[in-house]
Structure 1
Amino acid sequence: MNTEALLLRLRDELDEGGLRGSFLVRDLRTGQEIGIDPDVQYPTASLIKIPLAAATLDRIHRGDLDGATRVEVTPGVAATPGLSRFRHPASIAVEDLLYLMMAVSDGTAADALFGLTPPAEVARQVRDWGIEGISVRNQLGELSDTPAERFDAADVHLAHSLAIGAATAGQGHPVPQLDISRASAGSARAYTDLLEALWTPSKIDEPVAARVRALMAENLLLHRISPDFRSDATNWASKTGTLLNLRHEVGVVGHADGQTFAVAALTESRVPAAIQPEAEALMARVARELRDHLRAAA
């Protein structure tokens, strides 16, 4: 199937499944790429933990921060796995906070790290590395203060209906976490650029990039596009992001034959439901078919 026909079919499948999104797959050896609306920006939720991890590790590498420094963490609202569900305050080293943030997407750990390297500093560092299109505006605790937290579990679909129906044509939104001018945001292209900078020689020092790659490989949240990229013949490292009707994942797949692809899938659902395995499967299939097409052309 030629590229144009493939993209048309995949767009139709996404629409039929109630999804729209920003997808991009890039061959990290050749630079060839294929995508669907790769420059459309979305609020990125927990994807922002990748630049936060890189900026924190850069400070450790430069000697500006000691990875063994212990940070006092107070449990927060039990909205994400990890420290927010602790019953007592804890003292945790910076490098261990990095692990919790990336392995289980611990938002409380992320905010402890933001306390050391604020969003504006993370954004400046990303720009200094020559990566454009990633905004870093908020701490992660703000993601636990959406309409979804104001409804009982049986009524959470009402929060999703608000998320779906209240967006403006310019991607503004009365829910600030869904407004790309107020929330941390990015596109598939911007996050693919970041992945490329982490996996190939770039302005990011190699010890920093190597540690981010290792942390992403330790990600334990593998329910989204990961099932379509993990196998005995591949290496897969990724990070998810979730907020109301947004479902994202970005990662890098390395094949046994040496081919390596950066994959970014940022999606928005029109279905008012919190749990949507069909949406997860659809976005994974679209991302895999884009990868398969690019791999076959190499």
Structure 2
Amino acid sequence: MSGVRARIRTVFADAGVTGWMHAVDIDAGTGTRAEVAVGAETPVSTASVHKLCLAVTVQRLADEGRLDLDAQVESLPGDRTPGPTGLAMLSGPVRMSVRDLLAMALTVSDNTAADLLFDRVGLAAVNDAMRAIGLRRTVAVHTMRDLIAAVDEDCGGDEARLRSDPALLARLRVLDPARANHSTPRDMTRLLTALWRDEACSPDRARELRAVLGLQVWPHRLAAGFPYDDVRVYGKTGTLPTLRHEAGVVEYPDGGRYAVAVFTRAARAAARQPAADAAIGTVARLAVRALRAH
């Protein structure tokens, strides 16, 4: 796999990012499992990719009878976590089920929906669930509202300063995996593998969660690497200043299933980073092709 690793490093360099990734064949035997890894053990600030950990926790708690997915939760305009999508866009009170909040958190990366779930289950439960699945380097330390508040505080209320002040960008706490929600590419593929093998939660709830992950609306990262009608891509993105991530699963019509996690960090904080977005799909395609040829 050294050849594909070299090509992946070139893709990252050409996109102007530092990148870390891991890809694995979900159905290969554990002892002989082929993998493609570039910095796969590197801790990275996960941004909204951590909503995947939250989602698995919600399903596990529902399995245990500790959480009712049909329970109704009220969201009031003044209590919503800022964000460009989802409930933060709405002007009136909203009531929806825990199940629907989960769908919003994953499909459009709704920060308010995620925080209503974090408030319901607690950060400790998310970390307990990840440890139970075997993820030793994946830790949630804040909610989405705390993440956004930290960015606002570090920027003095003016996030635009990040694009002109490299020193400020370097001090941003949410970009430091030692002070933010964090994981590694290998941990993320381990979580996805457990979910696709019905080991992360019960088969029915795993099936439900996989279906929601297949409805994610962002096609410009992982999915962009597989523009084929007969290949299905499931995933969860994460975005912060300089960070562009996605972790997901690629399914081929012959039954092949591949878990992929790609994390990138750029040198600049531009709101639009199409080269970084495209690199995620390209790297995923290179890795999956190598696994299929192994």
TM over 0.5: yes
**In the aligned structure 1, how far is the partner of 2:23 from the partner of 2:41?**
13
Unaligned ranges ≥5, structure 2 = none
Instruction: Answer with 203-212 or 220-229: which moved more.
Output: 203-212
Deviation, 1:214, is 1.3
- Give the equivalent residue in structure 1 for 2:43: 41
Structure 2 residue aligned with 1:9, among 7, 32, 36? 7
The amino acid across from 1:213 in the alignment is R
Q: What do residues 182-216 of structure 1 show as CA deviations (whole Å, max 9, x unaligned)?
A: 21101110000000000014253222222221111
Matches within 5 A, 1:66-105: 66-75=68-77, 76=80, 78-105=82-109
Matches within 5 A, 1:50-199: 50-75=52-77, 76=80, 78-145=82-149, 146=151, 150-151=157-158, 157-158=163-164, 161-162=166-167, 166=170, 174-199=171-196
The amino acid across from 1:130 in the alignment is G
| Distance change (3 Å), C-alpha of 1:235 and 1:82 | same
Q: What do you get for the CA RMSD once the two structures are aligned?
A: 2.0
Deviation, 1:156, is 5.3
The amino acid across from 1:116 in the alignment is R
The amino acid across from 2:4 in the alignment is L
Deviation, 1:152, is 6.8
Deviation, 1:230, is 4.6
Question: Does structure 1 conserve the Cα–Cα contact (< 8 Å) formed by 2:231 and 2:250?
Answer: yes
**In the aligned structure 2, how far is the partner of 1:62 from the partner of 1:80?**
34
| Distance change (3 Å), C-alpha of 1:12 and 1:251 | same
**In the aligned structure 2, how far is the partner of 1:93 from the partner of 1:149?**
36
Instruction: Answer with 242-251 or 210-219: which moved more.
Output: 210-219
Q: What do residues 235-271 of structure 1 show as CA deviations (whole Å, max 9, x unaligned)?
A: 2111100011111001111101111111110111113
Q: What do residues 51-89 of structure 1 show as CA deviations (whole Å, max 9, x unaligned)?
A: 111111222222222112111212335423011111122
Q: What do residues 103-157 of structure 1 show as CA deviations (whole Å, max 9, x unaligned)?
A: 110000000001110111111112122232211111011232315683376x552
Question: Does structure 1 conserve the Cα–Cα contact (< 8 Å) formed by 2:74 and 2:94?
Answer: yes
Unaligned ranges ≥5, structure 1 = 167-173
Taking every aligned residue pair, what percent have the same amino acid on both sides?
Answer: 31
Q: What do residues 155-181 of structure 1 show as CA deviations (whole Å, max 9, x unaligned)?
A: 55236x3465x2xxxxxxx32211212
Instruction: Answer with 72-81 or 272-281: which moved more.
Output: 72-81
| Distance change (3 Å), C-alpha of 1:277 and 1:163 | farther
**In the aligned structure 2, how far is the partner of 1:163 from the partner of 1:186?**
24
Structure 1 residue aligned with 2:280, among 272, 283, 298? 283
Matches within 5 A, 1:180-259: 180-202=177-199, 204-259=201-256
The amino acid across from 2:9 in the alignment is R
SS in 1 for 2:228: coil
Question: Does structure 2 conserve the Cα–Cα contact (< 8 Å) formed by 1:22 and 1:40?
Answer: yes
SS in 2 for 1:261: strand
- Give the equivalent residue in structure 2 for 1:169: none
What TM-score do you get using the length of structure 1 for normalisation? Answer: 0.89
What TM-score do you get using the length of structure 2 for normalisation? Answer: 0.90
**In the aligned structure 1, how far is the partner of 2:96 from the partner of 2:124?**
24
